Chain A
Amino acid sequence: MSAAPETGGAAADGCAPGTPLYSEILEFLYREAALLDDSDYAAWIELCAEDIHYIMPVRTTQFRAQGAGFEDVSFFDENINSLRTRVARLQTESAWAETPPSRTRHFVTNVLVNAQKRPDEFAVAANFLVTRTRADQGYQMFTGRREDLLRRVAPAEYRIVRRRILVDQTVITSTNLSVLF
């Protein structure tokens, strides 16, 4: 179930690290992470395309020959309506898993951008580290790789069309998945 990016549109070196396009996409990812860490979910959901598919497959331990272990069953399998529902829920005062809210920090690194057949779309892969601390508890952590498809809708403005969240853990050791990635 790997999501190899298509290539063949814009020149591959047009979005390499150091190019204006790469910087623009990197800034988008940083601004997006800041919205999540600031709990500005109303602004974050506006970055999601109407046709978004946001998915976090369950992972299992497998021998190398069997692949990376990403299964057909998921922890998240979301469209725009279900993401809007999650955001609306987080904005109530009775979503107890996040009321009072966790403190999160989204780190995004190792960003690589690949052009797609559609000139306005880019496959963006990144590593993530999300830390969460809740009430007086210690840190909970999520690590993995994100494979996004971003659509450029205006200069320096993008929408998330697809996000595959490829976690490293087979057993999530973090109470629940009340945070967004």
Chain B
Amino acid sequence: MANARIQGKASQTGTRLRNGEDLASIVRPEEGIISRRIFADPEVYELELERIFGRAWFFIGHESEIPERGDMVARQCGVDPVILVRDQAGVVRAFLNSCRHRGMRLCRTDRQRATTLRCPYHGWAYATSGELLAASSEHHYGPGELNKSELGLIPVARLGTYRGLVFGSWDPAAPSLEQWLGDMRWYMDIIFGRTGEIEFVGVPQIWEVECSWKFATDNFTDNFHVYWTHQSLVELGMLPSEPDFASHGHMVTLENGHILHFVLGPPLEAFQGMGLPKSLWPRFKEHLDPAQAQIAQAHGYSAGTMWPNFHWLQLVTAGDTKSEPVGILNLRLEIPLSPTRTRMYSWFAIDKSAPTDYRKISYETYVRSFGPSGIFDQDDMENWEECTAAARGPAAKRYTLHHKMGIGRPIDTTWPGPGTCYADSYGEMTQRAWYAEWLQRMREPAPVPTSVQRPRARVSAS
């Protein structure tokens, strides 16, 4: 990405902040320079809501969470509340969780099964396909005052599914999900298609952290924090006592800001084949192409970010000091509530073909290691909160963070997968790629909303 292009376009596209600073001059990803201002600043956050959360593709949920017709879960698409539902015809749909009449929330539990949704406020009732079935006191409306066919639930503008993962975008002009994910699909296949299908198990753990959502996203593509942040586990002998232990692998940056790592574990069988039971390894070759299968076979760890805020964590770890390491697949999503508060989602997922005993131990290991109680995760949240707290003040905002590791590292042309690959999994190439996409999006003002429709001539004439 050429610097000149960024600098040249910035002032025309309204990325000058109220204090006169140009966003493109305080965030220079190619140089590893990221201003602290962007992490706790209300003005930057307002721009993020408009230019990122109103427009990008966002993970909403997994098809396995709504297996039956009428199943629905209350979620977000970006930061807007949505209902993810499998309608009575079996079609997966997503709607703004809000009645067309006064805007009252419609799905008021976290998950339910229903054939219709009735608004508690005035009784408007909708089919699971979104159609308005009945309004209240319909005979009190005059001719043309209630056009039910135009008052269905507001659908997420674009909805797409890949490997059971349902994504949505509020931008009608967004590229297709396939285009948006692009080559990331090749890597998603390795994680979500390695043995056939995966399924999400139960509901997510949800909790709130007093942090900028971006410190969490930054952390999920950071391997060299592991030795230091999770030092307590080094002390307990649950991680190697060698600072470079998580560096033996590759990182990849892709179009649209998608980023990932594949890391080799210790040379032990437990850390091969994604930590899955050996009985599942032959499936890699059945479900993946040879290069993908080889990557799945060789690696224990992987972390990937489907830009901007949805992540997989594939790990091999033990839930306690007495147990053997086992594979776990954890999915993560950050939903910002404010510049400095973020709602975290954490799901456990597993290969549908996994044997029962492995499912149990993998699940228990996940609960003990990750999520808010996890002996790994709890220390990460400490970092995110403290980094955010220190970024609030006017003095701190004048300074930048340091993201320069590996700027000069050569591209590894021997990697068999798509994208730009670097050998050695310690480096900040993936973070820089993430912030480059962030900056590009923040430089593009959203088009004027077209959703507010004028009264049609026929109506005003009547």
Contacts and interface: CB of A to CB of B under 8 A. Distances in A.
B233 interface: yes
B206 A85 contact: no
B110 interface: yes
Contact of A176 (B111, B203, B229, B373): B373
A94 interface: yes
A97 B235 contact: no
Contact of A77 (B232, B367, B372): B367
Interface stretch (A31-39, A66-74, A106-114, A155-163): A66-74
Contacts of A84: 320-321
Contacts of B375: 85-86, 89
B235 A63 contact: no
Nearest to B365: A82
A172 interface: yes
B378 interface: yes
A83 B440 CA distance: 46
Nearest to B341: A173
A171 B206 contact: yes
B381 A92 contact: no
14 contacts: A73-B202, A73-B205, A74-B367, A77-B367, A84-B321, A85-B238, A85-B375, A95-B379, A97-B378, A170-B206, A173-B208, A175-B209, A176-B209, A177-B373
A63 B348 CA distance: 25
A77 B207 contact: no
A139 interface: no
A75 B206 contact: no
Contacts of A7: none
Which interface class (under 10, 10 to 19, 20 to 34, 35 or more) fits B?
Answer: 35 or more
A88 B321 contact: yes
Interface in A90-131: 92, 94-97
Nearest to B111: A60
A103 to B, nearest CB: 16
A82 B202 contact: no
Interface of A: 56, 58, 60-63, 66, 69, 71-79, 81-82, 84-86, 88-89, 92, 94-97, 137, 170-178
B112 interface: yes
A79 B368 CA distance: 10
Nearest to B347: A73
Given A81-B320, A81-B321, A172 B235 contact: no
A21 to B, nearest CB: 33
Contacts of A74: 367
A175 B385 contact: yes
Interface string B356-374: 0000000110011001110
A94 B205 contact: no
Contact of A171 (B343, B364, B371): B343
Given A75-B372, A177-B373, A172 B208 contact: yes
10 nearest A-B pairs in the assembled complex, by CB-CB distance:
A73-B202, A94-B231, A177-B373, A60-B110, A172-B207, A97-B378, A85-B320, A95-B232, A176-B378, A81-B320
A62 B201 CA distance: 18
A85 B110 contact: no
Given A88-B236, A171-B343, A97 B109 contact: no
B111 A75 contact: no
B210 interface: yes
Contacts of B205: 58, 73, 75, 172
A96 B229 contact: yes
Nearest to A97: B378
Contacts of B207: 171-177
B382 interface: yes
A58 B381 contact: no
Given A66-B109, A66-B112, A85-B236, 14 more contacts: A58-B206, A60-B110, A77-B363, A77-B368, A81-B320, A82-B364, A85-B321, A85-B322, A92-B231, A96-B232, A137-B210, A171-B208, A175-B382, A176-B373
Nearest to B367: A77
